[in-house]
Structure 1
Amino acid sequence: MTAFILVAGAHTGGWVWRQVAAGLRDSGARAYEVTLTGMDGGGGAAEPGVDLQTHIEELVRLIDRIEGQDVVLVGHCYGIHPVRGAADRRPGRISRIVHVDVGVPEDGDPALKLVPDQTDRERVLSLARENGAGTLPAPTVQEWQRWGSVAGLPDDALARLTEQAVPQPLPTLTQPLRLSGAVAEVPTTGVLCTANGSSIAVVEAMVGLGDPAFQALADPRVTFFELETGHWPMLSAPRELVNVLLRAAAGKGHRVAAVREQPTHLRPFLMDVEERPRERTGRVDLHLPDADGPRPAVVFVHGGPVPAGARPTPRDWPAFVGYAQYAANLGAVGVTVDHRLHELTAYGRAADDIAEAIELVRADPRVDGERVALWFVSAGGLLAADWLAAPPSWLRCVAASYPILAPLPGWGLAGGRFRPAAAVRGAGRLPIVLTRVGLERPEIAVTVEEFVSAAADCGAALEVIDVPLGHHGFETVDPTDASRDAVRRAVRSVLGHLRVGTD
């Protein structure tokens, strides 16, 4: 008989698992919904000495009391930290760890690393400096969205989540997780909640980038499931979660294949383009046309996050090289840039990198600094917001291909800076060329439609080029005549706004 130990996330206790635990018991399994020390209410005062180690030891004692070997540890959000800590202590007793909409913390990682919003992280650190043994106040009903998507949560469930939430002891968030490495041998399952921005497609893309840090996700002992709900599936989709947990315990689920063939982002560009000279300065590559005098430039901005260890880096990916060389063949300077969007918290740093690269490009004597277009791709679309909100005179066009145009749930980008769907209201008559794919992931397609609607409301100069049967990254995934036509139309439209071919 499988025994499931259900460990809740920050500010919550075993009560969030009530329906899931009942469903597991109805199936014949045992279920232990855990309320960790200090998480059972009792007002805002912190219980002395409660930290991550306290919670790890608590789970170890529970594991030792359970008879049999088939123990499945289930962690949601913060709960995955004590879960992995306990499994590292008792690897022989654990048959599987299930990560419910949460990543894989490693040795030395504090739970604070899971907090999606940088502002919230800084607030926690500030509180810890002032009173290291204090607590983080429970979120208000409006603040839960900042910790993860509330999609699928009925109003009464969200109200209950708010009413029963408790302050979180700060040391549980700031103390680093210490692992011996034994936990790496325990089979794992990830439950990915698509409304919170995670999916099997995202995992496969990260593995495909080639960074060694993600190759463990292709281990045959690692499986994945998707749930079409937000960050609290135990409250929004308890029946579905019960089914997933039972299947996970049986070793079922999707397995991500190790990269044995060429990953999609490294496949050839869909068009043959005559090679032009290419010069590299720092993080910037210039693809130069065969032309006299300063020429307009198109700066291509990649998405991400792209792990720092990924090789080759984006400016050497065939799609970006292909676009830049195509622009150079048509008389413009094509520019590719490696910016440092290595994690979701680095959008500010990436924006600074792009601004620095643009200044370098505009200062080059071979570039007409008064005629520049910016072309944003995928998650790089959020970086368009600064330029749409207050376009400088030299910016003649903004383009975007299969972009993300509003932060996805769970990305933690609080505030309004990286929200092109809102920033477009400041674009005036700046030409915008949007390449939209018909087979886009639903969570991304929603942001595109929000942007298109906002652009229509404010009368923005938006041109939409549709690729009805195109996927995200269609330039290397869908080498069809329709895809090639879309690329030609988009590039020529952007160059037309730069007056390339008319001067």
Structure 2
Amino acid sequence: MATYVLVHGGGHGGWCYQPVARLLRAAGHEVYTPTLTGLGERAHLVGPHVDLDLHIHDVVAMLHHENLRDVILVGHSYGGMVITGVADRAADRIGRLVYLDAANPVNGQSLLDVAGPIIAATRPMGKIVDGVELVLIPFPEAGAFYGVTDPDDIAWMADRLTPHPWRCFEQPLALTNEDALWAIPQYHIVCTSTLATRDPELTAKARAAGRLWDIDTGHDLMITEPRAVTDALIDVATS
């Protein structure tokens, strides 16, 4: 049995992993799907204090309080920023890192640095609420922005997506334990369509090591292709 911690991306919450979590649990694995502060069912906690560091702390604290070790830590999209920071701060609790169509940052980079044009394009459509700059403002068809095409899935997402504090996207990642962090095996599950935009050296190295899966679907692949994602995650556990 493996233990998975599935970290969501911008504007989402732990809810987005429901299909994958059900499949992993049915296969006998332990699964945690934390929601980061200010998002999802924790949207009421949004405020000027919510940033990348706080989201990293959210997950580090969960690992500690649940006493989890040898975890397969998965991050989707913006969640790649979060899991990299978590592994830096709690390397002794992480067995494998999985980047799920996610940002692959290095020390000193923000999400804006890693995915500049896409992230910057969200800012003009944002708004200020109680002094907090929010982006990824939900709208009824927002699921399509994440590559989701099924009308039922889009409707399901529309009821759950929440705005995301811009501060999280512009704050640089600060790493202090890089030797331990980069010693953790890394795996990549990506959308076929994003391969061309990724670091060719990184993807070539991952593919040669048998640590790269590409799935021909939209960015929210845990929603559009939960079985394929689950199968890849189970492969990670047995590799």
Hey, what does 2:237 align to over in structure 1?
249
The structure number with the bigger radius of gyration is: 1
Partners of 2:74 and 2:19 in 1: how far apart?
15
Q: Between Structure 1 and Structure 2, which shows a larger proportion of helix residues?
A: 2
Aligned equivalent of 1:240: 228
Measure how far apart 1:140 and its partner are. Answer: 2.4
1: distance between equivalents of 2:127 and 2:13? 22
Give TM-score scaled by structure 2 length: 0.85
CA contact (8 A) 2:122 2:135 kept: no
Consecutive unaligned residues in structure 1, runs of 5 or more: 208-213, 252-503
For the 8 Å contact 2:36–2:42, the answer to whether it is kept is no
Distance 1:177 1:96, change over 3 A: same
Task: State how far apart, in whole Å, the 1-side matches of 2:89 and 2:105 are.
Answer: 15
Unaligned 5+ segments in structure 2 are: none
Aligned counterpart, 1:10: 10
Deviation at 1:127, TM superposition (A): 6.0
Aligned to 1:63: 63
CA distance in 1, matches of 2:109, 2:163: 21
Q: Distance in 2 between matches of 1:16 and 1:99?
A: 16
Identity of aligned residues (%): 30
Deviation per CA, 1:358-417: give whole Å up to 9, x if none: xxxxxxxxxxxxxxxxxxxxxxxxxxxxxxxxxxxxxxxxxxxxxxxxxxxxxxxxxxxx
Offset from partner CA, 1:233-286 (integer Å, 9 cap, x none): 2111112211110101222xxxxxxxxxxxxxxxxxxxxxxxxxxxxxxxxxxx
| Structure 1 residue identity aligned to 2:213 | F
AA of the residue aligned to 1:227: I
* Higher RCO by CA contacts (8 Å cutoff, separation 6 or greater): 2
The residue type paired with residue 132 of structure 2 is A
Q: Secondary structure at the match of 1:81?
A: helix
1:100-136 Cα distance to aligned partner (Å, 9 max, x none): 1123111122223436536515538x868x9873322
Q: State how many pairs are aligned.
A: 236
Out of 145, 150, 162, the residue aligned to residue 158 of structure 2 is 162
Question: Residues of 2 paired with 1:104 and 1:79: CA distance?
Answer: 10
Q: Once the 2 structures are TM-superposed, how far is the Cα of residue 178 of structure 1 from its aligned partner?
A: 1.0
Return the offset for 1:99: 0.7
Secondary structure in 1 aligned to 2:99? strand
TM-score normalised according to structure 1 size? 0.43
CA distance in 2, matches of 1:176, 1:142: 31
Structure 1 residues 238 and 216 mapped into 2: Cα distance closer, same or farther (>3 Å)? Answer: closer
What is the alpha-carbon distance in structure 2 between the residues aligned to residue 242 and residue 218 of structure 1? Answer: 19
Distance in 1 (alpha carbons) for counterparts of 2:69 and 2:199 = 35
- Contact kept in structure 1, 2:40 and 2:160, CA below 8 Å: no
The answer to whether 1:231 aligns with 2:219 is yes
Residues 52 and 82 in structure 2, CA contact (< 8 A), matched pair in contact too: yes
Between the aligned partners of 1:204 and 1:142, the Cα distance in structure 2 is 27
Q: CA RMSD in A?
A: 3.0
Indicate if the aligned counterparts of 2:79 and 2:103 stay in contact, CA closer than 8 A. no
- How much has 1:171 moved relative to structure 2? 1.8
Which stretch shifts more, 109-118 or 84-93?
Answer: 109-118
**Given residue 124 of structure 2, which amino acid in structure 1 is its aligned partner?**
R
Report the counterpart of residue 188 of structure 1 in structure 2: 186
**Given the superposition, is the C-alpha separation of residues 236 and 116 from structure 1 closer, same or farther in structure 2, using an over 3 Å criterion?**
farther
Are the equivalent residues in 1 in contact too, given 2:122–2:136 (CA < 8 A)?
A: no
The one-letter code sitting in structure 2 at the alignment partner of 1:138 is I
CA distance in 2: counterparts of 1:227 and 1:149, whole angstroms = 13
1:271-328 residue CA offsets vs partner (Å, 9 max, x unmatched): xxxxxxxxxxxxxxxxxxxxxxxxxxxxxxxxxxxxxxxxxxxxxxxxxxxxxxxxxx
Alpha-carbon spacing, 1:66–1:216, altered in 2? closer, same or farther (3 Å): farther
- In structure 1, distance between residues paired with 2:135 and 2:59: 22
CA deviation string 1:129-179 (max 9, x = no partner): x98733225232445544x433xx421101211221111122212211111
Equivalent AA in structure 2 for residue 186 of structure 1: I
Task: State the partner residue of 1:471.
Answer: none
